[in-house]
A and B are shown apart, each in its own frame.
Chain A
Amino acid sequence: MKKKSNYNQSIRDKVDQVEFTYDAADWNALSKKLPTKGFPMLGKVSIAIVATALISFVTYFSSQGENKELIRQQPSPEKQAEQQSQLVIKETNNETFAEEITPTKETKAQSENPIERTNPETSLSQIEKEIGDKNIKSVEIEPKKRQSISNELIVPKLQIAESVVCFGERMEIKTDYPLSTEQTILINGIPAEKEVLANKIGGNKIQLLDNNVIIDEQQMQVLELPDASFDFLKKEEQFAQINYTFEAKTSNVSYKWFVNGEPAGNDKRITKTYKRKGNSTIKLEVINKKGCKSFIERDITIEESFDLLSYDAYTPNGDGLNDEFIPKAIAANDLRFTMTIYTPSGIELYTTNDYYQPWNGRRNNNGEMMPTGVYLWKVLVYDDEQQAHPYKGQIKIVNLE
């Protein structure tokens, strides 16, 4: 047994204790979607009705001598799959029902297979009575059951819409006639629904079995999806910004890049420049020459601390050289920011959010000149989501007279 921890066990125990109160409305909703619409009483005898009605059906059409043609007009397998119903009951008049059910009596002795399905204890009169009680007048049987009776008449064939599909796509497997319960579809030897997702690359063997005898076989090719993975190729730090290069691992496909949902190029590699911390979603969509498409989306977080490129010391003496202080990267990357200057004891000296108004060494930029010494600066850089990223450092006023 797999080793699972205490933690897993305690989660499991707690979840197992959860109780949901039964909601009858859920059952009502479900029961409407189940076969044999809304006549629970009929359930017990439905098999019998189906079987008897079937016989009448077969007899009726055999007598017409053109059974095959008529059965062909039945709903398509697809439609039938949706119906799922064993029995469709229509309101017409009493006479019709009587007519349809009458041939049953005659055929009952001759036909063997279907009779086995009938409940021997349920006599026809009982059925008639029950149906009469429910005021149901005509019974039309679902194609699926007809099919099982008319096995010897019709051998269903596989109908495969597309013999080549991409991995992960739906493999639509249909048959020209509805399947009976004895007939199954195997994909690579495993029983399958009519619609499955392609999950085996290469040739896939689709077989149609009737009582474990192969009656039809076809191949479906499942193509590999192109690999949409990509690498963070390199990271270049330039002047207060970082370049990420993303490169697809696969060649010879067409590429579509998206950064945060915006198209960002159609080459094998793209470069994206980041100027500040933040998150970014990179999506690569690739389509190969056979038309198979896949994509990968990755969230990346830019966590590098960007150097604001501040300097350590300046000389606000009005000589035109190094007279003002502001970290250079703010201007270079057009960042939205707030810069505050403090004395070493924490008294605020100046605040600005305009690059063109750097600190000139005076209190509030218009008061008295501050003495030489160390001052503290704090910069908040705002990203696109108005998130503030703090930076701080020291700046020394040196007086070079």
Chain B
Amino acid sequence: MRIVIIEDEFFAARRLENMVKVYDSSVEVLTKLESARDSINWFKSNEQPDLIFLDIHLDDDLSFSIFKEVSISSPIVFTTATDELATQFFVLKGIDFLHKPIVQEELNAMLDKYNHSKRMEKPINPHIFDDIINSKSNS
């Protein structure tokens, strides 16, 4: 199982990587990305992983902006500490997410879910998050 961790906080990303290894040491963390820009670049030149842990708040932008640049068909588990609005949205849309600090059991369950599942049939809709984004260009 190949995963990608997109997380702007250095120590948080390292912790998540460690926790994933705790679940299954064979899980391959393809990369740890800190910004949306880096992520887009990575996806443009790499195959889609089996699972993405995606923090909402990245160094340079919200992670949702990635979807507008590249088509992502990998399953995504969002991670968030305090974005209540986002969490409500995820619950509403049935999108998977994990609260930070991530608890090992919750992570395990999430990894279990996606360990053997196939890829998503359709890439994620780049606009489904528009409602909760306060775009600078609009304001």
Chains A and B are bound partners: no
